[in-house]
Amino acid sequence: MKILRLSMIMVSLILLFSGCTQSIKKDVYQEQNITRPELTPYELNKIADQIYKNETGGNPKYLMYWSPNENFASLGYGHFIWYPKDEPQKFDQTFPDMIQYYIDNKVDIPDWLKNNRDCPWRNKKEFERARKSDKRFKQLENIILNTKTLQTKFFFDRVVNSIPEIIKYVPKDKVDYIKHNYNAVADTQGGWYPLIDYINFKGKGIKETEKYNNQGWGLLQVLQTMRPVKKGPQALKEFSNAAKVVLKQRVKNKPSERHFLKGWLKRADTYANPIY
């Protein structure tokens, strides 16, 4: 209950400062004629709760996780990626940006975390050993447990920063189509949850290393796959369906990931209806 109260207080404080970020982006959004994100504290907290369920199944143990199939740790409510030093980085590494976000928002973090942007544990075996006895692991776990709302604001700011970037990446003849589908979801009640969750879940879709058979699986690919749709309930259903098509295509391109598909599709199902 103490953590929850702290999170709700942080929501209000964070949104007071979020206007600065949004004002900076305002001209970019107006210039590109795309909907600029605006969320209430209630909406932000609901999104945080749902992303937590998506990433951990509601078990706080999985806020600190290392998959046996990966060469990186997955940390926090968004399972932010953190690579050890010198590991190949196929996917966007997001936890160092989260560390900087803590610093920028005056969160008290230990010096070892401030000064080291590489994961201190080299593999899953070291990571699980640290879970039992490493002071640094416990410090990081406590920080993560007590900053749910700040982490969700970080997701939110990633969308704020990423949408104009995606629009600039798209070929000119496809820009209006992508804008239309994005705006249809963004202008629908509850539409910010799928946009925020998917970009956290599978990225922007513009990084060349995040492709199999030259096909990506990020937010851009979902918006491309959607049929043209007006804002409203159908926009959420269309986004959900398109996400499932994109995720199935990823597994088709890399069959070794088939065991993930059931959970991925279940997650995409949550996009079809408003969570708040």
pLDDT at 21: 42
Exposure b/e, 146-174, CB count within 10 A at least 16 = b: ebbbbbbbbbbbbbbebbbebbebbeeee
Q: Where are the beta strands (DSSP E) in 106-218?
A: 211-212, 215-216
Number of domains in the chain: 1
Q: What is the mean pLDDT of residues 116-127?
A: 95
pTM comes to 0.80
Q: Would residue 145 count as lying in a domain?
A: yes
pLDDT at 29: 72
pLDDT at 27: 63
Alpha-carbon distances, residue 111 vs 26, 103, 114, 138, 170 (angstroms) = 35, 11, 5, 14, 41
Q: Would residue 263 count as lying in a domain?
A: yes
The residue to which tokens 């982006």 are assigned: 25
Alpha-carbon distances, residue 5 vs 32, 56, 58 (angstroms) = 38, 21, 18
pLDDT tens string 30-50: 777 787 777 888 888 888 889
pLDDT tens string 51-72: 889 988 889 889 999 999 899 9
- CA distance linking residue 104 with residue 120, whole number of Å: 22
**Which residues span the domain enclosing 206?**
2-6+27-272
Map residue 83 onto helix, strand or coil. Answer: coil
Q: Would residue 62 count as lying in a domain?
A: yes
Q: Would residue 47 count as lying in a domain?
A: yes
Q: Would residue 97 count as lying in a domain?
A: yes
Q: Would residue 89 count as lying in a domain?
A: yes
Q: What is the mean pLDDT of residues 75-80?
A: 91
Q: Would residue 20 count as lying in a domain?
A: no
Structure-block tokens of residue 139: 């410090």
pLDDT at 26: 55
Q: Would residue 261 count as lying in a domain?
A: yes
Q: Is the pLDDT of residue 15 over 60?
A: no
List phi, psi (to 5°) of 190.
85, 0
